[in-house]
């Protein structure tokens, strides 16, 4: 009974706040969209790679493009980025904004402010994401991790029983300073114990984390 009430309440909050924030930030979203488009005439949102969400299904997470068009494919296939790719792989599939030459001038500003994350409100409104939940996982990231740690499938299976979130326990607890394995454990524990009080506390902590850049790999 309590679980059902929580799910309904959570969805009502998701719809209400995502719609309110989309209207509130609409002028900013339009300005950012225009700046991205005039910089290189490419897509406004990131096309690939896809993420895994509820029931492990792939979905396109809306996020402002901060890199050159087809940046992920360029990194994997273009010899020009061979050295950068080796560094990316060695560093756990992460690159700082300063060392990643694929990041555009607009992208650097967006990443510094986390404005690139705002379009995920569309995913929340559509029901693909929630305001609070586990961090959505890249398909390639998941497969690569499971090759090394197949026992972690139990955490992913649990995480995939709920919608991923724009923010969550991982984001307010250290973000990129937390290894992928520990992130899965944290998100899985959140799923086991999630409730409205925890969600509200995470939402209240998120602005501080964004402003202080705590745990951000820059």
The residue among 111, 84, 112 whose CA lies nearest residue 99 is 84
Helix (H) or strand (E) holding 167: strand 165-167
pLDDT in tens, 163-214: 999 999 998 887 777 888 899 999 999 999 999 999 999 999 998 888 876 6
Helix (H) or strand (E) holding 5: helix 2-24
The pTM of the full predicted model, rounded to 2 decimals, is: 0.86
Give the span between the Cα atoms of 218 and 181, in whole angstroms: 21
Other CB atoms within 10 Å distance of the CB of residue 53? 24
Give the span between the Cα atoms of 110 and 32, in whole angstroms: 9
Residue 214: per-residue pLDDT: 64
pLDDT in tens, 52-98: 999 999 999 999 998 888 777 878 888 888 888 888 777 767 777 77
Residue 65: per-residue pLDDT: 92
């Amino acid at each position: 009974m309590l679980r059902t009430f929580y799910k309904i309440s959570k969805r009502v909050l998701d719809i209400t706040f995502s719609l309110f924030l989309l209207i509130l930030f609409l002028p900013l979203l339009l300005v950012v969209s225009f700046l991205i488009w005039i910089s290189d005439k490419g897509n406004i949102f990131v096309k690939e790679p896809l993420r895994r969400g509820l029931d492990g299904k792939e979905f396109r997470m809306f996020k402002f493009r901060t890199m050159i068009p087809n940046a992920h494919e360029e990194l994997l296939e273009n010899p020009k980025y061979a050295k950068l790719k080796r560094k990316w792989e060695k560093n756990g599939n992460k690159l700082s904004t300063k060392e990643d030459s694929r990041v555009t001038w607009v992208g650097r500003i967006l990443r510094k402010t986390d404005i690139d994350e705002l379009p995920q409100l569309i995913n929340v409104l559509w029901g693909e994401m929630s305001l609070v939940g586990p961090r959505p996982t890249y398909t390639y990231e998941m497969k690569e991790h499971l090759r090394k740690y197949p026992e972690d499938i139990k955490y992913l299976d649990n995480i995939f029983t709920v919608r991923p979130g724009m923010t969550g326990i991982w984001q307010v607890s250290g973000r990129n300073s937390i290894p992928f394995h520990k992130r899965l454990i944290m998100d899985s524990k959140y799923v086991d114990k999630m409730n409205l009080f925890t969600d509200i506390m995470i939402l209240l902590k998120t602005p501080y984390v964004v402003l202080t850049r705590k745990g951000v790999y820059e």
